Chain A
Amino acid sequence: NAGVMQNPRHLVRRRGQEARLRCSPMKGHSHVYWYRQLPEEGLKFMVYLQKENIIDESGMPKERFSAEFPKEGPSILRIQQVVRGDSAAYFCASSPRTGGGLYEQYFGPGTRLTVT
């Protein structure tokens, strides 16, 4: 059973470009969370999605950031017009949100975004 997969693992973008981060949850998981880890800081919640629905986006910056989790395919975190301050590690976690895994989240290896 493959774990949570994220790609790319490393992404370099110039200021003003777009960054697309992908997350494939564990098999059978239909709930996805995105977190951001800035240098020298802990992880901060960004957004929680179910298939085709955004449930909680209270941690998302108001501009330039968006997320989706379509019926088919991976969840996508999109950052438009990136700035140096967006440089961070972005982690995706998935959860079955049922049964014994109701409160457990399984994290992917992260995407490390560098904005030059």
Chain B
Amino acid sequence: AQSVTQLDSQVPVFEEAPVELRCNYSSSVSVYLFWYVQYPNQGLQLLLKYLSGSTLVKGINGFEAEFNKSQTSFHLRKPSVHISDTAEYFCAVSEGGSGNTGKLIFGQGTTLQVKP
């Protein structure tokens, strides 16, 4: 069975500092990987996804993530954060290949708190 672990429940960081949100997954099959952001009382918005190809994926709002198959990780990074990046971030996996139904398995979430 697939699972996702987000190693930090909260990440406080000062504005304009770099940030990394960690995500590890386990799966016996190939996977597709996603990062979503959730602002208070809103739904989830897709930041970026990895399906295949280049392991460095760029997304919206200046975020990027790197897929590392050997370490089964998909960490999210931003070189300089803004106050508006304060939100909950979710890492998710979906089973790859012909068996894919699109069902997402989510991590517990990481709260990014950007301080002025």
The verdict on A105 contacting B106 (CB below 8 Å), with A42-B90, A43-B90 known, is no
Interface range for A: 20 to 34
Task: Tell me the nearest residue of chain B to A112, going by C-beta.
Answer: B41
The total of chain B residues at the interface (CB under 8 A) is 22
Partner of B102, one of A48, A58, A108: A48
Most B Cβ at <10 Å: residue of A31, A42, A48, A106: A42
Task: Tell me the nearest residue of chain B to A103, going by C-beta.
Answer: B32
Q: A42-B90, A95-B102, A105-B102 are in contact. List 17 more A-B contacts (CB 8 A).
A: A35-B104, A41-B108, A43-B104, A44-B106, A45-B104, A48-B101, A56-B101, A58-B103, A91-B44, A97-B102, A103-B49, A104-B49, A105-B104, A109-B41, A109-B42, A109-B43, A110-B43
The verdict on A42 contacting B108 (CB below 8 Å), with A103-B32, A103-B94 known, is yes
Closest Cβ–Cβ distance, residue B91 to chain A (whole Å): 9
Q: Which residues of chain B have C-beta atoms less than 8 A from A4's C-beta?
A: 43
Complex formed: what's the CA distance from A55 to B43 in Å? 23
Task: Tell me the nearest residue of chain B to A10, going by C-beta.
Answer: B41
Most B Cβ at <10 Å: residue of A44, A91, A103, A110: A103
Against B, the Cβ 8 Å flags (1 = close, 0 = not) of A19-61 are 0000000000001010100000111110010000001101100
Q: Which residues of chain A have C-beta atoms less than 8 A from B106's C-beta?
A: 35, 42-44
Q: Is A69 an interface residue (CB 8 A)?
A: no
Contact A107 B45 (CB under 8 A): yes
Complex formed: what's the CA distance from A35 to B49 in Å? 19
Q: Secondary structure of the B side of the interface?
A: loop
Closest Cβ–Cβ distance, residue A69 to chain B (whole Å): 14
Q: Is B100 an interface residue (CB 8 A)?
A: yes
Complex formed: what's the CA distance from A107 to B39 in Å? 12
Contact B102 A103 (CB under 8 A): yes
Contact B46 A104 (CB under 8 A): yes
Complex formed: what's the CA distance from A69 to B36 in Å? 25
Between-chain CB contacts (< 8 Å), 25 pairs: A31-B102, A42-B90, A42-B108, A42-B109, A43-B44, A43-B104, A43-B106, A45-B103, A45-B104, A45-B105, A48-B101, A48-B102, A55-B101, A56-B101, A58-B103, A91-B43, A93-B44, A103-B32, A103-B49, A103-B51, A105-B46, A105-B102, A107-B36, A107-B44, A109-B41
